[in-house]
Amino acid sequence: MKSFIQNLNSILEMLESVEHEINLAGYSLTEKKVFFTIVQLTVKEGSCNITDVINDSNLSRSTVYKAIKKLEKNMLLNVKQSSFDKRESYLNVIS
């Protein structure tokens, strides 16, 4: 019985290592939530900034910042500073 569970666990470890290697689903639920919030706000409002994401997602500022940094690094997002207000940054989804 123990052997069966050990073998099954070996398969799961292998499947996990495949996922890590190809990074198909390497985003946490929070990161996915931030990404989907940005997409939804962009579709609804036409544009979206970091404060909008914080208000809409109810996540903390630091969590949203971290997620945006990762998404930007992975070329899923583009962060552009507003020309009117330098303190504001607009988020664009790279399609």
Partner 1 sequence: MNINSKFKDFILTNLMLYLFAMGVWSFWSYFAFVGLDKMDWQGSIVYLPHGIRVLGICFFGIKSLPALMAAELTGPLFINPEQYMGVWSIASMASLASVLIARELVKYSQSNIKGSIVGPIKFENFRLLVLVIILSGLLNSISVNIIITYLEPSINLDPIVVGRFFIGDVLGSLVLILFLSVTFTSLRLNKLALPSSK
Q: Contact residues for partner 1 (CB under 8 A)?
A: 1-4, 7, 9-19, 21-22, 24-25, 28-29
CB of 89 to partner 1, least distance (A): 28
Contact 48, 54 (CB under 8 A): no
CB of 33 to partner 1, least distance (A): 12
Structure-block tokens of residue 49: 């900034």
Distance CA 79, CA 48 (A): 10
Given the complex with partner 1, which of 48 and 59 has the nearer CB atom?
Answer: 59
- End-to-end CA gap in the chain: 49
CB of 69 to partner 1, least distance (A): 20
